[in-house]
Amino acid sequence: MTNSSLEIKDSEYLIKFSKQQFDIDFVKSILAFINQKLSVKEASTETGNVKDAEDNFYKDDYFSHLDEK
């Protein structure tokens, strides 16, 4: 049984999750993580310090979500 799949097209990604295996809160948390990562990357690109922002993002995010695991 396939729990998830990923399709890569020219201009988009399509990720599919089985409703039986993944609840909606999990999917929402993944989307929130992606949006947060994009926001950090966009903000750091504007200021020119991409590497520092990515390092801080992972450190902050790792400890803030341990209770969800």
Q: Across the chain, where does the E strand assignment appear?
A: 4-8, 13-17
CA-CA distance, 17 to 57, in Å (whole number)?
A: 26
Confidence of residue 43 (pLDDT cuts 50, 70, 90): confident
Average pLDDT over the chain, rounded to an integer = 77
Q: Is the pLDDT of residue 54 over 50?
A: yes
**Its pTM surpasses 0.75:** no
Confidence of residue 2 (pLDDT cuts 50, 70, 90): low
Inter-helix orientation angle 24-47/50-64, to 10°? 150
Question: 7 vs 68, which has greater pLDDT?
Answer: 7
